[in-house]
């Protein structure tokens, strides 16, 4: 008995999608094997258990609480993101920096120094990272470098705010990912890839397109490579190519998540078995 076939047929039966040929195969398996009958009884038992479950009434406080929140949002337009808020924040920072309180001024100057130093360091690290990429050498280990070819698997992404596709290819311990996403929201699009123990062999982005220039968040997305994670910030993620190397052939799938600010928009897994 092939366990996978039995599982599939029994699940199809539960969902009412058995074909006539499937029905015949399943009937034969049921007639021949006690274990198949037991499995079928258990799976049907789960379905019945769920169907018998009675929904619970939500607390009476739920609806009024939502109403209050909505009213608060309605009555406090300043809470929503405003394009000028960043500029106001900078002005406020500088006005506090030069406020006539020496202690506060010193603290702000110190914090500003740390932030500035961090930005410079991140920029230098980013340049070093990009400078070491030898694209031809890395791509040479892939089956094909062109995501339009059949060796690549394409996952369409279609949510109310994000449209596009993600293409993947695996060749031995090398994995290629190409991301092309257009975002139609007004916030900041963030993408997070949980790559686990993989190492990033190559990172390449397409040059900015003329239409990108009209976007308010900058043409090229900002890419940060952290321990086990890759973070991308930008409102258009066009032709972002990543090549990974992993040591274990059974590496866990890469989890990919999209957020508008902190709000999740999309989640999936790449290289699922």
Partner 1 sequence: MKDTGTSDAALVELCRRGNTRAFDELVGKYQKTLFNVALRMTADYDASEEVTQQAFVRAYERIASFDPRFKFFSWMYRILVNTALDHLEERKRHDRLDDEVPSDEPDPSDLGEREDSEAMLQAGLMDLTAEQRAVIVLRHFEDLTYEEIGAVLDIPEKTVKSRLFSARMQLRAVLVKRGYRFHG
Residue 149 sits in the site that holds partner 1 (CB under 8 A): no
CA distance 236 to 208: 10
Tell me whether strands 199-204 and 263-270 are parallel, antiparallel or unpaired.
Answer: unpaired
Q: Which of 160, 207, 210, 249 lies at the binding interface for partner 1 (CB under 8 A)?
A: 160
Q: Which of 19, 31, 34, 55 lies at the binding interface for partner 1 (CB under 8 A)?
A: 55
175-204: contacts with partner 1 (CB under 8 A): 184-186
Residue 83 sits in the site that holds partner 1 (CB under 8 A): no
DSSP string, the chain: --HHHHHHHHHHHHTT---HHHHHHHHHHHHH-HHHHHHHHHHHHHHHHHHHPPPPPPPTTHHHHHHHHHHHHHH-GGGS--TTHHHHHHHHHHHHHTSS-HHHHHHHHHHHHHHHHHHHHHHHHHHHHHHT--HHHHHTTSS-S-TTSTTSEEEEEE-SSEEEEEEEEEETTEEEEEEEEEE-SSS-EEEEEE-TT-EEEEEE-PPPPGGGGGSTT-SSPEEEEETTEEEEE-SEEEEEEEEEE-S-TTPPPEEEEEEETTEEEEEEEES--
Q: Spell out, one character per residue from 60 to 79, where the chain touches partner 1: x when CB under 8 A holds, - when not.
A: -xxx-xxx-xxx-xx-----
**Shortest separation between residue 261's beta carbon and partner 1, angstroms:** 10
**Shortest separation between residue 39's beta carbon and partner 1, angstroms:** 8
Q: Which of 1, 46, 104, 125 lies at the binding interface for partner 1 (CB under 8 A)?
A: 46
**Shortest separation between residue 71's beta carbon and partner 1, angstroms:** 7
Q: Which of 30, 143, 151, 161 lies at the binding interface for partner 1 (CB under 8 A)?
A: 161
Q: Which of 135, 151, 266, 271 lies at the binding interface for partner 1 (CB under 8 A)?
A: 266
**Shortest separation between residue 62's beta carbon and partner 1, angstroms:** 5
Q: Number of residues in contact with partner 1, rule: CB under 8 A? A: 48
Residue 101 sits in the site that holds partner 1 (CB under 8 A): no
Residue 249 sits in the site that holds partner 1 (CB under 8 A): no
**Shortest separation between residue 196's beta carbon and partner 1, angstroms:** 16
**Shortest separation between residue 147's beta carbon and partner 1, angstroms:** 18
CA distance 62 to 10: 40
CA distance 185 to 236: 11
Q: Spell out, one character per residue from 15 to 44, where the chain touches partner 1: x when CB under 8 A holds, - when not.
A: x-----------------------x-xxx-
Q: How many CB atoms lie within 10 A of CB 180?
A: 19
Residues that bind partner 1 (CB under 8 A): 7-8, 11, 14-15, 39, 41-43, 45-47, 49-51, 53, 55-59, 61-63, 65-67, 69-71, 73-74, 80, 155, 157, 159-161, 184-186, 260, 263-264, 266-268, 272
């Amino acid at each position: 008995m092939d366990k996978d076939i039995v599982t599939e047929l029994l699940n199809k039966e539960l969902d009412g999608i058995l074909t006539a040929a499937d029905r015949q195969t399943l009937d034969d398996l049921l007639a021949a094997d006690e274990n198949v009958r037991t499995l079928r009884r258990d799976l049907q038992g789960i379905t019945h258990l769920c169907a018998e479950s009675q929904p619970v009434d939500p607390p009476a406080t739920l609806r009024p609480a939502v109403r209050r929140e909505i009213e608060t949002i309605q009555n406090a337009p300043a809470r929503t993101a405003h394009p000028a808020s960043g500029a106001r924040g900078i002005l406020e920072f500088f006005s506090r920096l030069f406020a006539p309180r020496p202690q506060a001024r010193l603290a702000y100057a110190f914090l500003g120094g740390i932030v500035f130093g961090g930005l410079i360091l991140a920029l230098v690290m980013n340049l070093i990272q990009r400078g070491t990429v030898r694209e031809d050498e890395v791509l040479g280990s892939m089956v094909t470098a062109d995501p339009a070819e059949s060796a690549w698997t394409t996952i369409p992404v279609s949510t109310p705010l994000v449209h596009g596709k993600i293409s993947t290819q695996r060749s031995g311990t090398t994995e290629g990912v190409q991301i092309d996403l257009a975002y139609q929201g007004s916030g900041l699009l963030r993408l997070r890839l949980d790559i686990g123990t993989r190492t990033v062999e190559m990172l390449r982005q397409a040059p900015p397109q003329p239409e990108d220039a009209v976007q308010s968040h900058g043409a090229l997305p900002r890419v940060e490579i952290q321990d086990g994670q890759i973070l991308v910030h930008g409102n258009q993620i066009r032709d972002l190519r990543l090549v990974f190397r992993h040591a274990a052939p059974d590496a866990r799938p890469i989890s990919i998540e999209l957020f508008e600010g902190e709000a999740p928009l999309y989640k999936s897994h790449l290289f699922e078995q």
